[in-house]
Amino acid sequence: MTHNRRRDATDDRTVLITGCGSGIGRATAREFARRGWTVYATDLRTDLLEPLEDECETAELDVTDEAQCEEVVERIADDEGSIDCLVNNAGYGVLGAVADVSTEKAREQFDVLVHGPHRLARAVLPKMHDQHGGTIVNVTSLLGRVTFPGLGVYGSAKFALEGLTDALRMETGPDIDVVAVEPGWVRTGFDDEARQQFADIDASPEYADVYELHEEGPFLDGGPLAVEPEAVADEILHAATATNPKSRYPVGVARWLVLLRFLPDSVQDKGRWAIGKLGTKLRRFGLL
């Protein structure tokens, strides 16, 4: 762990954030730091944390490594005396038709998106119980409530994280708050990284229409519907500081797309395909 800044005497709250190397995690670390929190910004790659070193404490953290998760939490507790908030943000997306994604890749996806938050929750909860308070914010996704073709493995992991969040909220209340922040599309490198996986996928011809949606359409980047990472960071900070936080904070287009869940499944299925195909056509003509 790298100590990079002098702690101000007025700081009295500490947050551990995962996945701070870019995007939502980096924006969230900066937002908490601006508000006077002591921020421990972590990532699998410490070189990506260099832009945060003047504002935050930084540390390497692989959320699939249980020993490292426990070690980082213990160091923070020893250094600061408490951990007031955990933000589980680290993640990436596995792209492909469900039948084309290997079991190994699916297992790796769940290890990061579901087991990682579980490991860290297990590590911080004893500290939060001892201090009679704390907040866990799990960054889930619109895709944790409404999934789309080609994103089934990623979506199913986010569905699982939503369920884990709900159970934790009921088990730990009222002293400890557990909240889901649910972004829709966000302008990060998520879509570029997901598209790069096409080269590693042995795409079956039966699912050519699925891949066409992602190669040409806005399903991954959201086009004009995407929001900046700072919009998600604002909601995460709000969830961490609210006296009585809501159980869920949808962000951007997620606020209204989640309403699709209340339609009959047959209507939902046709609607999601229609949204994707319309977006593909608009993009081909330079209208999106």
Residues 85-95 pLDDT 10s:
999 999 998 98
CA distance 168 to 191: 30
pLDDT mean over 35-50: 97
Q: 272 and 148 in contact (C-beta within 8 Å)?
A: yes
State both tokens at 190.
């998520």
pLDDT (0 to 100) of residue 5: 42
Amino acid at 211: Y
> What are the tokens at 243?
């006296």
Residue 40, pLDDT score: 98
| CA 173 and chain centroid, separation | 22
For range 260-278, the mean pLDDT:
81
Are the C-beta atoms of 18 and 89 separated by less than 8 Å?
yes
196 phi, psi to nearest 5 deg: -65, -20
- On the question of pLDDT at 3 being above 70, the answer is no
- Reduced DSSP (H G I as helix, E B as strand, rest coil) percent helix, strand, coil of the chain, to 5: 55, 15, 30
* Model confidence at 165: pLDDT above 70: yes
Average pLDDT, the chain: 89
- In this prediction, residues 252-270 reach a mean pLDDT of 80
- The two tokens of residue 69 are 């998760």
Euclidean distance between the first and the last CA atom of the chain, given in angstroms as a whole number: 44
Mean pLDDT calculated for residue range 253-270: 80
Mean pLDDT value across residues 162-185: 95
pLDDT-wise least confident of 80-89, 105-114, 180-189, 263-272: 263-272
Domains within the chain, CATH numbers bracketed: 14-205+223-262 (3.40.50.720)
φ and ψ at residue 86, rounded to 5 degrees: -120, 125
Lowest model confidence (mean pLDDT) among 13-17, 145-149, 207-211, 283-287 = 283-287
Confidence of residue 282 (pLDDT cuts 50, 70, 90): low
Predicted pLDDT of residue 224: 78
Closest-CA residue to 212 (of 200, 221, 203)? 203
pLDDT per position as a tens digit, 213-242? 877 666 677 777 789 999 999 999 999 999
Q: What pLDDT score does 9 carry?
A: 36
The C-alpha atoms of residue 185 and residue 177 are separated, in whole angstroms, by: 25
Contact 105, 43 (CB under 8 A): no
Structure tokens at 118: 């579980």
Tens of pLDDT, residue by residue over 43-76, are: 999 999 999 999 999 999 999 999 999 999 999 9
Q: One of 40, 154, 211, 249 is an active-site residue; which one?
A: 154
Decide: helix, strand or coil at residue 78. Answer: helix
Q: How confident is the model at residue 103 (pLDDT cuts 50, 70, 90)?
A: very high
Catalytic (active site) residue 154: yes
- How far, in Å, CA of 131 to CA of 16, rounded? 16
